[in-house]
Amino acid sequence: MPVKKYLLKCLHRLQKGPGYTYKELLVWYCNNTNTHGPKRIICEGPKKKAMWFLLTLLFACLVCWQWGVFIQTYLSWEVSVSLSMGFKTMNFPAVTVCNSSPFQYPKVKPLLKDLDELMEAVLDKILAPGTSHTNTTSTLNFTIWNHTPLVFIDERNPDHPLVLDLFGDSHNSSSAAPGSTCNAQGCKVAMKLCSANGTVCTFRNFTSATQAVTEWYILQATNIFSQVPRKDLVGMGYAPDRIILACLFGTEPCSYRNFTPIFYPDYGNCYIFNWGMTEMVLPSANPGTEFGLKLILDIGPEDYVPFLASTAGARLMLHEQRTYPFIKEEGIYALTGTETSIGVLVDKLQRKGEPYSPCTMNGSDVAIQNLYSDYNTTYSIQACLHSCFQDLMIHNCSCGHYLYPLPAGERYCNSRDFPDWAYCYLSLQMSVAQRETCLSMCKDSCNDTQYKMTISMADWPSEASEDWIFHVLSQERDQSANITLSRKGVVKLNIYFQEFNYRTIEESPANNIVWLLSNLGGQFGFWMGGSVLCLIEFGEIIIDFIWITIIKLVVFCKGLRKRRPQASYTGPPPTVAELVEAHTNFGFQPDTTSHNLYAEVYPDQQTLPIPGTPPPNYDSLRLQPLDTVESDSEVEAI
C-alpha cells in the first residue's frame, strides 16, 4: 500500500506544520544551485549583495525576453524554400484544346433568332441615334429586353444626368421628353439591372459601347442556353473530327479518337490529350520538337456566332493528368495561320501543409463541396473557387449559374423562372466580400505541378506550300478535290519539353524543435551560466514553495477553527482558583450553586472573558531537527 503510506505522510506533514520557512528555502537554493549569480547574493557584503541581486535580476529578465522571442518565432510556423534540380524521363502533360466559339452558328441560330434581331436593332440605335426605326422595332420580341435593357446615360450635365431608353422611352428623375436621343460624346451606354419587380434598380456603366453590348449579349445568351439540355448543347458544338485534322505524338500517329471530350460552357466542346482517365499516361522519350505533340486544327471561323465570339483562334492549356482544365482562367490562345511552338519546363511545388502553409492534400479538409468531383478529378483551388461562387449563387439567388456545375436538386438561372437573377448575379460577381469569403475558405493544393511555356510563332503554311497542304487536308477530311480550308481557320501546334531538367520548389520548417531548444539553452547558458539541470532545480524550489504555502494555509485554517468563540456558560464564569484546580485535578467539578450574586451584575447570561493566564503549550518547545523524517511506525500510529 505505498500510496496509502504517502498519503499518511502528507497528512502527518500537514499536522506538524511546515519544516522550512520561505527564507530558509531561498537561502538553501542560493547555496546549492549551479546557476551563476545567486550564490554571490548571500555570500558577499551588503553592497555586493545588492549589485549581484540587480545583475541576476537583469539577466534573468533578458533570458525570459529572449525565450519569449524564440518561442513566438517558433509558433509563427515560418518556412524556408529550397530549390533543387532534377533530371529524369517525365510524363507528357495533358493538353486541352478548344475553339474560341462555343457553338456553330447554323446550329444555334434558331435559339438566338430573337436575340440577334434585338442586337441588330440596338446597334442601329447606337450607330444612328437620331434615325427613326419604328418599322424595325415593331417586330422585335421585347420579352428579353424588358428584363435587362440597355440605356443611354447623358452626362452633359453631371449634376443631373439623364437616363434614356435606347428605343425612345425616357426614365429619369428630371423631366426628359419622350423620344429624346443622345448623340453627344457625353452619352454612354449602360446596362440597367432591376430586382424586386423593378422597384430596386442599378446601372452597370461601361467606357465603350462595344463592351456594353458584348456583355449584354453574353448575359442574354447565358439565359437562353441555361434552358437547353446539356446533350443538345454538345451537339451544337464543334465535332472532334472537324476540328482535329492531324495528330502526331513523337513518332507515333494519333487522331481525334485519342482525345477525351468534355463540355466547357465558355468554349463548348473541348478535347483533352493524355488526360490519364481511362488510358495510360504517355511519357516523353526525349526533349525536343520531334518527340512532342504535333497538331493541326481547323477552327472554322465562318461558323462563329457573330455576337458571342469576337476572338478567332484556338484556346489551349497544359495541365497535370486527372486535373480539370480551367481554360478560361489558365489557358492561352493560338493564332490562326501560324505554327505555334510551345517549349515546356516543369516546376514541382511541394508545400509543407498545416500549420506551416494553408494548403490541402486532397480537399477533404475544405468546407466547400467540390462540384467538379463528378469528373473524378483531383482537387485544385480553381475548382474550389468556382464551387464556392456557385454555392453563394444558389444561397443568394435561389438558382445556379450556367457556367458552373450544378448541385443535385438545384436549377440553372433563367429570366422566366427567376426574373431577378441577373441583378443578383452581377451584384454577387462585383462583391468584394464574396471574393474574400471564397479566398478565405479555399486552400492551395500542397503538391502542384506547373508548366512554364516558351512560345514562338511563324506563318504557316508558307505561300509556296499553301496550295498543296490545303489540298491534302481537304481531301483527308472532306474527301473533296477542292480546297475547303483557308489560312484564316488553320492552326498548327508543336508542344514539347525543352529539356528533362525539372525544378522542385519545396518548403521546409524554418524553425524546428531542435532549433528552439538550442536557442533557449544558448541564451540561458550565455546570460546565467545555467543548463537543463538548473531549470530542474528551479522547478524543484517552485514546488517546495507551493508545498509550504499549502501547509501554511492548512495550519492557518486550523488556527481559525481553534480561535472560534466557545459556548456560553450556563452560569457565571468560574474563578481563578477553580480554573487552576480544574487544570491540575481532572476529577474536580466547580460548584455552580453558590454564585447567584453575579446574576444581577451579568444579566441575560452574557459571555464573559476567562480571567487568568492559560498554561503554556509545552509541546511547541520540542527540540527536533527541521529535516527529521518521520518513521513508518509514526505514520502507521497516526
The per-residue pLDDT for range 411-449, each reduced to its tens digit, is: 999 988 898 899 999 999 888 888 899 999 999 999 999
**Prediction pTM value:** 0.74
Q: Which residue has the cell 460548584?
A: 591
Structure-block grid coordinates of residue 46:
551588503
Residue 272 has pLDDT above 90, yes or no: yes
What's the mean pLDDT in 133-143? 68
CB contact at 8 A, 200 and 194: yes
Above pLDDT 90, what percent of the chain?
40
Residue 610 has pLDDT above 80, yes or no: no
Above pLDDT 70, what percent of the chain?
80
What's the mean pLDDT in 309-319? 93
What's the mean pLDDT in 361-366? 89
Residue 538 has pLDDT above 50, yes or no: yes
What's the mean pLDDT in 450-477? 92
Residue 393 has pLDDT above 80, yes or no: yes
The per-residue pLDDT for range 58-100, each reduced to its tens digit, is: 888 888 899 899 999 888 888 888 888 888 888 999 999 999 9
Q: What is the pLDDT of residue 482?
A: 87
- Angle of helix 2-16 relative to helix 532-562, nearest 10 degrees? 60
Residue 247 has pLDDT above 80, yes or no: yes
Buried b (16+ CB within 10 A) or exposed e, 47-75: eeeeebbeebeebbeebeebeeebeeebe
Position with higher pLDDT, 613 vs 109: 109
What's the mean pLDDT in 124-153? 75
CA 206 to the chain's CA centroid:
33
CA 485 to the chain's CA centroid:
49
Q: What is the pLDDT of residue 171?
A: 39
The per-residue pLDDT for range 194-207, each reduced to its tens digit, is: 886 777 888 888 88
- pLDDT grade for 173, boundaries at 50, 70 and 90: very low
The per-residue pLDDT for range 1-27, each reduced to its tens digit, is: 566 676 666 655 555 545 567 777 777
- pLDDT grade for 178, boundaries at 50, 70 and 90: very low
Whole-number Å distance between alpha carbons of 462 and 465: 5
Structure-block grid coordinates of residue 473:
487536308
Residue 521 has pLDDT above 90, yes or no: no
Q: What is the pLDDT of residue 603?
A: 52
Which of 444, 514, 447, 509 is CA-nearest to residue 77?
Answer: 509
Q: What are residue 229's phi and psi, to 5 degrees?
A: -60, 150
Buried b (16+ CB within 10 A) or exposed e, 472-487: ebbeebeeeeebbbee
CB contact at 8 A, 174 and 160: yes
Residue 216 has pLDDT above 70, yes or no: yes
Q: What is the pLDDT of residue 138?
A: 66
What's the mean pLDDT in 212-231? 93
Residue 326 has pLDDT above 80, yes or no: yes
Position with higher pLDDT, 42 vs 330: 330
Q: What is the pLDDT of residue 496?
A: 95
What's the mean pLDDT in 215-219? 93
Is omega for the bond preceding 461 within 30 degrees of 0, making it cis? yes
Q: Mean pLDDT of all residues in the chain?
A: 82
Position with higher pLDDT, 197 vs 121: 121
Count of alpha carbons within 13 angstroms of residue 412, beta-carbon side: 17
What's the mean pLDDT in 372-379? 91
Q: What is the pLDDT of residue 565?
A: 59
The per-residue pLDDT for range 549-563, each reduced to its tens digit, is: 887 888 788 777 777
DSSP string spanning 138-168? Answer: TTS-THHHHHS-EEEEE-SSTTS-EEEETTS
Which of 425, 120, 93 is CA-nearest to residue 273?
Answer: 93
Q: What is the pLDDT of residue 41?
A: 73
